[in-house]
Copies of this chain bind each other. A is one copy, B any other.
Amino acid sequence: MLGVSHRDDNQSLRAIVGNTTAMTAARNGNTNPWPDGTILGKLVWKDSRHPLWQPALVPGELSHIEFMVKDSKKYANTGGWGFARWVGMELKPLNNDGGKPCFECQKAAAETDFVFTRPAPLP
């Protein structure tokens, strides 16, 4: 697990996870650029309130699961990242036009190799 986040514009909770290449890179601070072979995943749930503890927002319905895969040659046109998204519990693949719309948005994080998530502080 690399991090967690909460979006208060679209009321959703996220977990950001990585494969071993990603976790090793994060532990070593070797994330700009992330090495080839990195896979980052994000799981997104709609907010719900915990029935026994109202101030806690917890995962409700699964919204989507998405991935970024680093291969600086194969995905040279989109910052070295391949993009994929599956929607809902039925994991319906999103046709994302080779990742172009994803990349457009992830460009806002160009200074950190197109990745928003900064590994959560850990001892």
A interface list, Cβ under 8 A from B? 1, 3-10, 13-15, 17, 43, 45, 47, 50, 52-53, 55-62, 65, 89-91, 108-109, 111-112, 116-118, 120-123
A4 and chain B: residue at smallest CB distance: B4
Beyond contacts A5-B59, A6-B13, A59-B121: 12 other A-B pairs, Cβ-Cβ < 8 A, are A1-B1, A1-B15, A3-B59, A4-B13, A6-B56, A7-B56, A8-B57, A10-B55, A52-B108, A52-B111, A52-B116, A89-B121
Copies of this protein, total:
2
**Out of B57, B62, B89, B121, which one reaches A6, CB within 8 Å?**
B57
User: Does B1 contact A17, Cβ atoms closer than 8 Å?
Assistant: yes
User: Does A4 contact B9, Cβ atoms closer than 8 Å?
Assistant: no
User: Does A56 contact B116, Cβ atoms closer than 8 Å?
Assistant: yes
25 A–B contacts from the bound complex (CB under 8 Å): A4-B13, A5-B56, A5-B58, A5-B59, A6-B13, A6-B47, A6-B57, A7-B55, A8-B55, A8-B57, A43-B120, A45-B121, A50-B116, A52-B108, A52-B109, A52-B111, A52-B112, A53-B109, A53-B116, A56-B116, A58-B117, A58-B118, A59-B120, A62-B121, A62-B122
